[in-house]
Structure 1
Amino acid sequence: MTNILFAAGPELWADYETPLRRALDATGLDYTLGCDAAPETVDYIVYAPGSKLQDFAPYTRLKAVMNLWAGVEKITGNPTLTAPLTRMVDDEGLTQGMVEYVTGHVLRHHLGMDAHIVNPEHAWEPNVPPLSRERPVTVLGLGALGQACAGMLAHLGFPVTGWSRTEKQVERVTCFHGDDGLSRALADAQIVVLLLPDTPATRNLLDADRLARLPWGAVIVNPGRGPLIDDDALLAALDAGQIAHATLDTFRTEPLPADHPFWAHPKVTVTPHIASETRVDSAARVIAANIRRGEDGEPLLHLVDRDAGY
């Protein structure tokens, strides 16, 4: 009997119980699933960052913790967690949602749609945008989500450059990596999309110096993590005109405090962390399939590298 503890909170249990049972039944596993179990009997924990479960030491039989979100920065440093940790990567709903958000906002900025949507003076200014092939876009972060978004933008004709911490190869995308590669990736980017995890190595990645390296009037789209950008440096770059606009979906503090300058800044669009959510049905299938792999003695998919932080 494989014992699975759902420790992602009661509000999510109502959504996940039926899809998880359906997905687990399809694997043929003999299992128990619930929100309460004696720690020493638990084999797998389905987890979310806001869980009240923080001490994993009593879970002496634990084979893996399976995070429902892609972000794991709130759990990777937990010293009591010594079992393998996986994160949500292959949820097709999460990926599709991110591709749609990124593509929509890149096209919005590329086409200059804001000026047409909000035009109180009824100004007739036919500023024709360039074609996509004349608008370089850089995607920072070439994990599963970054690769999917970069691929879609390349399909639409944008010259796409990608940057990652380690070397990657992505079809139709010019790829750079490392510190030197980051400077090259930013040099021509008229639109920058951030899809990196929050780690010590990525915090404040876009600081005043790197923002200044972007072409004058560049646009930033950040559906990745709030700490990737130095907030004060971004506000200064917006005020100076170095950055023409920033569409931000993630923030250092969420919900974004009502008095934060981003809310009132005319060159900032705030979206409430909606770029992509884990979809229950597809996420349940990913979790069930990974538990099945664990029980069959196969390597778990989407293992988190604790040192790298993702």
Structure 2
Amino acid sequence: MLLLAVKVLNTENRNFLAKYGIEVVTPDTIKASQISEIVISYGWDNAIGEEILTNPSSKLKWIQAQSAGVDYLPLAQLKARDITVTNASGLKALPIAQTVLSYILYFARGLHMYATRTHWEPFTDQYLVSELPVLVFGTGRIGQQIAKLIKSFGGTVYGVNRTGHQVPNFDRVYAMTDYQEGLAKADIVVDGLPGTTETDNFFDERFFEQMNQLFLFINIGRGTTLNQSALLSAIDDSRVKYAALDVTTPEPLPKNHPLFERSQILLTQHTSWGENAQTGRAGGLFTFLEKNVPSFVTEGTFVQNVVDLDRGY
């Protein structure tokens, strides 16, 4: 069984795979004759992936994505070929959640007022986290970690998911079709939605028209979920006081983009997931592959993180 390692594997990882009869090739070592023999892709390479998917003899059965979001994959083609995708949901939940908390503290505690100030002018119009109810769109592992951190500060957290099913750490969860009650209670909105056709431009003019001076809008989901022009209008009209965006459309943003020109907006350039390279948590992405390999090799099944290719998450 052949695995294409787009992401790096160490010796221990390779030894584990060898126990299950899995041979490893990389984009640098793969031969043309092996393209059709790849059964597992660990990560995704667009060029090789296109060769695989256009090869009628391809044996590809499983892609372990390197991220929680999989909107960069050709999901319709994968479904048509009966290829399973597993994602890395939860891998970066803690760093992303801590980044969200840092956004909240940055604006709530008035730190933004001192970022460029070069004269003495104290700013005391500050808030506690517990004074600013939060509404989180997306209650998966990242959303749950965000809620857990906010609750540790005594905060109130509402959630929004597809069905409205209740999730730990949230005071209440609403369905996507019935989020307005939660929005009316919130001072902070966190966009943690995946990039799908259903969520495209979800946060649009109609959404922001419901605002009555929202304190902070945060996007750590996908840039495509937010209509950036609508957000800029809401900022300019004071319907939204501040915004913190980790993701945008496009990426990178061109120089002199309007988002760069608003002092009320903090842009962190898709780095909320970041960890120090030398102290990153043990295991990382490979732990997701590792947990599914035994059942895949013996039964062709998976125990976790299978993506619904219709929904895109």
Q: For the aligned residues, what is the CA RMSD? A: 2.2
> What does residue 309 of structure 1 align with?
312
Bigger RCO of structures 1 and 2 (CA < 8 A, at least 6 apart): 1
Which of 16, 40, 43 aligns to 1:44? It is 40
Please, what TM-score do these two structures have when normalized by structure 1?
Answer: 0.87
Unaligned runs of 5+ in 1: none
- Following superposition, the deviation at residue 63 of structure 1 comes to 2.3
In structure 2, how many angstroms separate the alpha carbons of the residues matched to 1:24 and 1:184?
51
- Following superposition, the deviation at residue 86 of structure 1 comes to 1.2
> What does residue 298 of structure 2 align with?
296
- Following superposition, the deviation at residue 115 of structure 1 comes to 1.4
> What does residue 102 of structure 2 align with?
104
Amino acid at match of 2:25: G
Amino acid at match of 2:94: Q
Unaligned runs of 5+ in 2: none
- Following superposition, the deviation at residue 247 of structure 1 comes to 0.9
Would you say 1:255 and 2:252 are equivalent positions? yes
In structure 1, how many angstroms separate the alpha carbons of the residues matched to 2:54 and 2:162?
32
Structure 1 SS opposite 2:53:
coil
Would you say 1:199 and 2:176 are equivalent positions? no
Correspondences of 1:1-310 after superposition (within 5 Å): 2-6=1-5, 8=6, 13=7, 16-18=8-10, 21-26=11-16, 28-35=19-26, 36=30, 38-48=34-44, 50=46, 52-54=48-50, 55-58=52-55, 60-79=58-77, 81-91=81-91, 94-127=92-125, 129-173=126-170, 174-180=172-178, 182-277=179-274, 281-297=283-299, 298-310=301-313
Structure 2 SS opposite 1:296:
helix
Amino acid at match of 1:152: L
Structure 2 SS opposite 1:71:
coil
- Following superposition, the deviation at residue 135 of structure 1 comes to 1.1
- Following superposition, the deviation at residue 124 of structure 1 comes to 2.5
In structure 2, how many angstroms separate the alpha carbons of the residues matched to 1:227 and 1:287?
28
Amino acid at match of 2:62: A
Go from structure 1 to structure 2 and tell me whether the alpha carbon gap of 1:50 and 1:277 turns closer, same or farther (over 3 Å shift): farther
Residue pair 1:76, 1:309 contacting (<8 A) in 2 also: no
Structure 2 SS opposite 1:43:
strand
Go from structure 1 to structure 2 and tell me whether the alpha carbon gap of 1:259 and 1:157 turns closer, same or farther (over 3 Å shift): same
- Following superposition, the deviation at residue 154 of structure 1 comes to 1.5
Identity %, equivalent residues = 22
Please, what TM-score do these two structures have when normalized by structure 2?
Answer: 0.86
- Following superposition, the deviation at residue 152 of structure 1 comes to 1.5
- Following superposition, the deviation at residue 57 of structure 1 comes to 4.3
In structure 2, how many angstroms separate the alpha carbons of the residues matched to 1:220 and 1:29?
47
Residue pair 2:242, 2:264 contacting (<8 A) in 1 also: yes
In structure 1, how many angstroms separate the alpha carbons of the residues matched to 2:115 and 2:147?
26
In structure 2, how many angstroms separate the alpha carbons of the residues matched to 1:97 and 1:187?
28
